[in-house]
Each structure stands twice: as C-alpha cells, then as structure tokens.
Amino acid sequence: MKIIFSTYDDINNPYYAGGGSRAIHEVAKRLTDKHQVVVMTANYPGAKNQTVDNVFYKRIGFSFFGPKFGQLFFHFLLPFYVIRAKFDVWVESFTPPFSTSCLQLFTKKPVIGLVHMLSGEDMERKYKFPFRAIEKRGLRTYKYFIVLTEAIREKISLINKESTIFVIPNGVIVSRRGGEGRGERYILFIGRLEFNQKGLDLLVEAYRYSGIKEKLVIAGVGTDGDMGKIRVLIERYKLQKNIKFVGKVEGEKKDMLFRNASAIMVPSRFDTFPTVVLEAMAYGLPMVGFDIAGLQWVSEDCMLKVAPFDSAKFGFTIKRILRDKELRFSMSLAAKKQAAKYTWESALKKYEEAFKKVENLK
C-alpha cells in the first residue's frame, strides 16, 4: 500500500517537534517494512524534502509563515494535495486551530482522521472564537478515525455515530536504565514550551510555592513569544538560579536527563496522551500532574494528581514526592508496569489491521 500521513508538525520542526510528530515517525518507519510511506508536513526555515528511516518527508507551503499562520495555510493547502496525490490510505493528523481539514470531502479514497488531540475547546478558550462548532462540523465529514484513548473515542462517537473508530495508543520503548544516573538530582519538564496548553506558567508558580532546593530543568523548544513570557515570570519570582533551560534534547542527552531526574512534571491545562508520560513510565519515574480529563488513562499509582489548576497544591505535591523515598519507589514500580502495556509493535499491528479493514470497507 501507499500510505500518506499529513501532519503540520514533524520531528525537526523548530517551533514544535512535539510528541505527536515523534509518534507518527515511529509508526511510519515500522510500516516501511511492507508499505511505501510518505509523511507530508508544513515547510519551515531550513526544511527540505528528505528520507528519514525509509520514510519520505515531503514539505508543503512556504517557510516564512511561522507557526500560527503556517498552521492555517497548511489546512488550506491539504485539500489540493489530497485531490492530486496517488495513495491507498491517507492518515490526517488533526492540527489546531480547527483540528480537521475535512479531507474526506475531497476524495473517494479512505481518509483516516488521526486524533492525538481535539484542539477546538482549547483554541476557543484561548482566542474566544467558536472553534468547537467548526471542529464538530468537520468531524462529521469523516468515515474513519484513529484515536489514542477510549475517552476520545466516546467523544467522537457522540458527534459522528456512523464512523468507524480504532483505538490505538502510542507506544514506548521501555528503558532498563531508569534511575541509574549519578549526577545532580532535579525535577524535569520536557515538551513544547508554552503557556496556554502545557501550563509552563503554572509550573513556575508551583516550583516557587514548593520551596525545594532541587533545580527545575526545562527541556524543549517554543515560540519566541512563549519563551519571553516564561523568562519574564522566572525573573519576577527571582528563580533564575534555580531553573535551567537545556533546549531540545535527543538521544543520549535526553536519556541522561531522564536517568538523573527525580520526578517528571506534567502541568498541562489540556492534553490527551502526552508522549512524555509514556517516556516517564518507561524510565520508572514518578510524575505530578493536574487531574484533567486527558490524563484519566494514567494510573494514580504512577502520577500524583492535583486539582486543576492549583499551583500551590502542585508545589506542595512536588515537595512531598521528593521527600518520600518509599513513595517514589512504589510509583517507579507501578510506572514500569504500566509502560509495559504500550509497545510500538502492538501499535503497528493495530495500524495494519485498521488499514486492512478500511480497504475492505471502501
């Protein structure tokens, strides 16, 4: 089969390079053993068409739009490509602010909506525009979906009762080296650096309330605007010496960050299936997060959950987890156990089963 994934983000995107793009790459590279796979992404400075792990990355659009206008333009371009491209199955990874590009309306071939996150609610809260209504209309145009959790399956099935929905969680490679680092201990945030969804402002406030001596290490990239806001907040609370930015991390550097961390912070206001949560589980690391709907799938045995969005209680919980060695040990065991349920081999098998079923139904 020729399979096309479309996603605004990708593994080298300077603005995001989020967990969804990494998950798509992990699935795509495994599919290349039997299929021809193309990942179609937005253009950005320095981007070029290239092959990575036998997956062909095709860039579309212009590189000078930046992340916000770039996402809108990416939505606009996709229908033109789905009309012209040769493929057997198209997997459309939903992109903010509308989530969908309604691609199934432009072709008789099967388009599967890949839902890492439905962004309408979050975008409406942020910009005061009826994105949810637009998103719902878009969701009704699809026949097939791949979602990561049962909660998202239920949400979509209420909107589009006629659709076929496959629940396929992302996978993770379980580490056998978690907790073996000998460097300076710290708490760790790793992911996209932004206020609105990922809650970096809440994390900085929580860290201030915690009063701990251990450093907060922040890994990842973000837009200039969000980075500026984060640094202003850190300076306001005089935490420059306590919070360390390490930028985008991969490979051995990322491995060492996880191995030396005492706990992982997940301060998201809105999320569904954060890759960092699976990675933390794989390393046997305890987590602190807010008790939001998108984290219901995470066992409380491996994540201490705080009422949204109480920074003071979040800070108290950080202190608690760092001071209770037995608690960290029990949470570490639970995290490893839950991580073992999520493998890329299992995800690949379910993807191929979904593609076969869609081919038979078309």
Which pLDDT does position 131 carry in this prediction?
87
Q: The tokens of 356 are what?
A: 């076969």
DSSP letters for 28-75: HHHHTTTSEEEEEEE--TT---EEETTEEEEEES-TTSHHHHHHHHHH
DSSP track, 278-314: HHHHHTT--EEEE--GGGTTS-TTTEEEE-TT-HHHH
Q: What is the DSSP letter of 94?
A: -
CA distances from 253 to 142, 178, 246, 250, 259 (A): 41, 14, 10, 6, 10
Extract long-range pairs of 349-356: CB within 8 Å, 24+ residues apart.
350/166, 350/168, 351/27, 351/31, 351/146, 351/168, 352/31, 352/34, 353/166, 354/112, 354/144, 354/146, 354/166, 354/168, 355/1, 355/3, 355/88, 355/89
The predicted structure's pLDDT at residue 176: 53
One-letter amino acid at 138 equals G
Whole-model pTM?
0.83
pLDDT value at residue 70: 81
**Segment holding 26, helix H or strand E:** helix 19-31
Q: What pLDDT was estimated at residue 184?
A: 62
Chunked into runs of 10 residues, the chain (362 residues) has average pLDDT values of: 94 80 94 96 92 95 81 92 96 91 95 91 82 93 95 94 95 64 76 86 95 93 85 93 91 90 94 89 95 90 95 96 93 92 93 92 68
How big is the CA angle at 296 (ends 332 and 328), to the nearest 5 degrees? Answer: 15
pLDDT at 177: 54
Question: pLDDT tens digit string along 22-68?
Answer: 999 999 999 999 999 999 999 988 889 999 999 999 999 988 877 77
Q: Where are the alpha helices (DSSP H) in 119-237?
A: 120-127, 131-139, 150-159, 200-210, 224-236
Tokens standing for residue 254: 């990322």
Query: Sign of torsion, CA 40 42 43 44?
Result: negative
Residue 181 CA to residue 245 CA, distance in Å, equals: 19
Planar angle of CA 162, 93, 224, nearest 5 degrees:
140
- What are the structure tokens assigned to 329, written together? 């040990």
DSSP 104: G
